[in-house]
Copies of this chain bind each other. A is one copy, B any other.
């Protein structure tokens, strides 16, 4: 099936909107006639909503799943072009992500992971373009440089962050850590710049800004510390947990499993391409109104829409103040992710950084397409932000600015301009996590993010289940 989202450019076709994806659900809805009242209505079919909806359906609840895009998986979906997956959003997974890993095991997909990197042949080097010019170095030198720079960056406690955030899944275990949410990455850089070589300065900033896809002044130093802790306070694990293992068949090959399992219960009603506009609490139930005018009724609603579009839905009764303020602030991730298929097999083993000038600032050889071309994945952030759908020529130039390549195809989805996302994965500006989101676990459960996704899904489904338990006890 073809999604209306995403873009593809080839010399022959020029820029075309829409890409094929195995995650597109057809028909887009299985509702002939809406039930009078669902047990739970889930808003969003990203992994958070999808997991919770599946578990609710398995529990025997009558579930309605409403999703704005035409495809499942939220900000993680793959286009599947000539049998090769280009990941439009979230890509990499690891056993270091406990909740994600649990689902991978559930669907027996452990052996379907493959490596993004392959340094076995080709140019086998890292290209660093900084304000001082361009030069190549070995991947060993790249790793050494990144590790050294990152360790200086996070070393606020003489323990590379282990003392200040000992338990990454209980992030405020040491409450002292909260003070670092007052600092931006720019603030932190000014504390340590005298300790950094020019190369270290460029690479640490490029790596951290790659994670936030924002600018140093809008990126919370605390949130990066949290990522670092989640990666076992270790550069090698950062690479392993963030950018090493991906699904052979793409993220949509994973997301579809949740949907199929939920569908098989017979308890799942769904409507894709159905953005929600109003969620209204009445005396006895919740009314959910779609933009189309359709109205659905449920005993409860679980919203798992991205933080940055939360305020585009009218919640009546209103959300908690902290939650509303958090949605007003929003997260800062404006990632521009661009795939290049190029006729340069030797680039399979290439990696590169072009910072701060590059409109695409970080890229790696990510695979070999069935034609034998190299697939390069490239990332841009909020500085000099590209809108590839508006300016494909600039985008092609930004790829060439990373390293010279013979382009056959460009594939992308612009998350920042997607009205149902308004950004890519969650990354917080200073103050957001500790001042607005930190009013207990529950307030976080509305927001999805790649790092928090499974945990939240677990909480959401657990809530549904315990409520069901209560009902059954009271019967």
**A interface residues with partner B (beta carbon < 8 Å):** 58-60, 95-99, 101-102, 105-108, 110-111, 113, 167-170, 173, 232, 237, 245, 261, 264-266, 441, 454-455, 458-459, 462, 465-466, 468-470, 472-473, 475
B98 touches A102 (CB 8 A): yes
- On chain B, the residues within 8 Å of A110 by CB distance are 167, 169-170
- On chain B, the residues within 8 Å of A99 by CB distance are 98, 101-102, 105
Q: Which of B170, B265, B458, B469 contacts A265 (CB 8 A)?
A: B469
A264 touches B98 (CB 8 A): no
A441 touches B108 (CB 8 A): yes
Find the B residue at minimum CB distance from A472.
Answer: B266
CB distance from A332 to the nearest CB of B (A): 26
Q: Which of B58, B97, B441, B473 contacts A266 (CB 8 A)?
A: B473
A462 touches B106 (CB 8 A): yes
A264 touches B105 (CB 8 A): no
- On chain B, the residues within 8 Å of A105 by CB distance are 98-99, 169, 455, 458-459
- On chain B, the residues within 8 Å of A455 by CB distance are 105
Q: Which of B101, B107, B108, B466 contacts A98 (CB 8 A)?
A: B101
**CA A264 to CA B473, docked complex, whole Å:** 6
Given A95-B168, A113-B170, A232-B237, check contact A102 B458 (CB 8 Å): yes
- On chain B, the residues within 8 Å of A108 by CB distance are 441, 459
The 5 closest A-B pairs by CB, nearest first: A264-B469, A98-B101, A98-B98, A60-B60, A102-B102
A472 touches B95 (CB 8 A): no
- On chain B, the residues within 8 Å of A469 by CB distance are 261, 264-265
**CA A475 to CA B441, docked complex, whole Å:** 40
- On chain B, the residues within 8 Å of A232 by CB distance are 232, 237
- On chain B, the residues within 8 Å of A265 by CB distance are 468-469, 472
Interface centre among A60, A102, A167, A266 (most CB of B within 10 A): A102
CB distance from A443 to the nearest CB of B (A): 14
Pairs across A and B, CB under 8 Å, 13 listed = A95-B169, A96-B96, A98-B98, A98-B99, A99-B102, A99-B105, A101-B169, A102-B454, A105-B169, A105-B458, A106-B458, A111-B173, A113-B167
CB distance from A258 to the nearest CB of B (A): 12
Given A58-B59, A459-B105, A465-B58, check contact A264 B113 (CB 8 Å): no
B106 touches A470 (CB 8 A): no
CB distance from A418 to the nearest CB of B (A): 29
Given A95-B169, A169-B95, check contact A466 B264 (CB 8 Å): yes
CB distance from A241 to the nearest CB of B (A): 10
Interface centre among A98, A110, A168 (most CB of B within 10 A): A98
- On chain B, the residues within 8 Å of A170 by CB distance are 110-111, 113
- On chain B, the residues within 8 Å of A465 by CB distance are 58, 261
CB distance from A249 to the nearest CB of B (A): 16
**CA A264 to CA B168, docked complex, whole Å:** 32
- On chain B, the residues within 8 Å of A472 by CB distance are 264-266
- On chain B, the residues within 8 Å of A245 by CB distance are 167
